[in-house]
């Protein structure tokens, strides 16, 4: 955990040293909302570190006797504008752990994400809003993940670094309004999903959309990604992002008798909707709310699990069960914040 948080902090502190960036605030603000013919490096981002601690003794209402939650979040961008060319880089990283007395303070992961996007575009219109661009995106996680709802959860992991790992490469058109708004669409986008055979051999249907006992899956489809960032006030920052992907190669899966066992077609669009809200309480203290919603037809929700000892099928008891196949993550935190 310490290594992960230190890595996130190092990224935030080292970005200003990558190049001689434009330090004029007026220029930064104008480039954030306007498209100008200029040569400049533009950077920005936010680093949050949150720590919550609790202790109970003889507490009538009950609860976790002692607990500690540590989470970190980094979101930053580094852009290079060179006349009619623009190179943008966005990096989002999150990590969080929960320690509780009831499980001997064994760390349990509550957040884990790596998401990097690099895009290079060439201006194709006089208004400086439309670019022909190439995009690369990488998604994965830092450490192993576990399903804490099942007994003996620590005897097997459900995911790890590069399991899954998602690589997307696309060519398309990018509409930009400074650094505040970007809308990119590609009719031809390739995506590669990779995972260790350890995970894909766990279930007969495989994992993460990868077939049983295989280590990768290739997709070709249409891709859209849109980002919007704004300072609602001097103290309030809001960011949102929407990704959509439709796989042209998707086909319904059938059994030996021709019966459809899994519906999968280009209409099953993968969705990622990311939201980040930050309110600055003081110079270094802030309140943040982050919410992410993901739909992926290749990652179904399972409301039961099989007890490894008895073989009994047991129904899970989860507060978010109504969301079904949607993956939902919401984190509210008060902690230290560094903005640049």
Nearest 5 degrees, angle CA 218-CA 219-CA 223?
Answer: 140
What pLDDT, on the 0 to 100 scale, is given for residue 105?
94
Domain with 107 in it: 2-339
For the record, the structure tokens of 311 come out as 């073989």
What pLDDT, on the 0 to 100 scale, is given for residue 37?
75
Question: Domain count of the chain?
Answer: 1
pTM: 0.84
What pLDDT, on the 0 to 100 scale, is given for residue 311?
64
Residues of the chain short of pLDDT 50, as ranges, are 1-2, 4-6, 8-9, 11-24
Is 85 strand, coil or helix? strand
What pLDDT, on the 0 to 100 scale, is given for residue 306?
63
What pLDDT, on the 0 to 100 scale, is given for residue 108?
96
The DSSP 8-state label assigned to residue 25 in this structure reads: H
The DSSP 8-state label assigned to residue 159 in this structure reads: B
What is the rounded CA–CA span in Å between residue 115 and residue 4?
14
What pLDDT, on the 0 to 100 scale, is given for residue 264?
84
What pLDDT, on the 0 to 100 scale, is given for residue 97?
96
Residue 108, burial from CB neighbour count under 10 angstroms (0-12, 13-18, 19+): middle
What pLDDT, on the 0 to 100 scale, is given for residue 21?
43
DSSP 197-248: HHHHTSSTT-BTTBPTT--EEEEEEEEEEEEEEEESSSSEEEEEEEEEEEET
What pLDDT, on the 0 to 100 scale, is given for residue 151?
80
pLDDT, one tens digit per residue, over 51-89 is: 888 998 888 888 899 999 999 999 999 999 998 999 999
What pLDDT, on the 0 to 100 scale, is given for residue 23?
44
């Amino acid at each position: 955990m310490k290594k992960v948080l230190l890595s996130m902090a190092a990224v935030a502190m080292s970005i200003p040293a990558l190049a001689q960036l434009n330090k004029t605030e007026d220029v930064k603000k104008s480039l954030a909302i306007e498209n100008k013919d200029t040569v400049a490096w533009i950077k920005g981002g936010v680093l949050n570190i949150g720590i919550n601690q609790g202790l109970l003794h003889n507490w009538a209402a009950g609860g976790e006797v002692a607990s500690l939650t540590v989470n970190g979040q980094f979101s930053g961008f580094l852009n290079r504008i060179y006349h009619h060319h623009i190179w943008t880089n966005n990096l989002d990283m999150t990590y969080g752990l929960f320690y509780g007395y009831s499980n001997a303070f064994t760390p349990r992961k509550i957040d884990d994400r790596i998401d990097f996007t690099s895009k290079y575009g060439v201006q194709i219109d006089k208004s400086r809003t439309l670019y022909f661009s190439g995009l690369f995106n990488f998604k994965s996680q830092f450490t192993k993940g576990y399903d804490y709802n099942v007994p003996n959860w620590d005897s097997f992991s459900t995911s790890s670094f590069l399991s899954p790992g998602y690589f997307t490469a696309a060519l398309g058109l990018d509409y930009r309004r400074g650094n505040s708004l970007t809308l990119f669409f590609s009719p031809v986008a390739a995506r590669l999903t990779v995972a260790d055979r350890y995970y894909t051999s766990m279930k007969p249907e495989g994992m993460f959309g990868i077939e049983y006992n295989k280590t990768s899956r290739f997709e070709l489809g249409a891709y859209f990604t849109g980002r919007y960032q704004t300072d609602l006030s001097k103290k309030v920052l809001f960011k949102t992002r929407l990704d959509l992907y439709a796989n042209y190669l998707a086909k319904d899966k059938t059994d030996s008798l021709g019966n459809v066992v899994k519906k999968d077609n280009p209409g099953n669009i993968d969705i990622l909707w990311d939201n980040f809200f930050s309110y600055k309480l003081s110079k270094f203290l802030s309140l943040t709310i982050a919410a992410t919603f993901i739909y992926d037809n290749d990652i179904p929700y399972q409301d039961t699990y099989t007890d490894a000892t008895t073989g009994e099928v047991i129904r899970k008891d989860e507060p978010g069960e109504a969301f079904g196949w949607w993956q939902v993550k919401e984190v509210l935190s008060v902690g230290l914040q560094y903005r640049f």
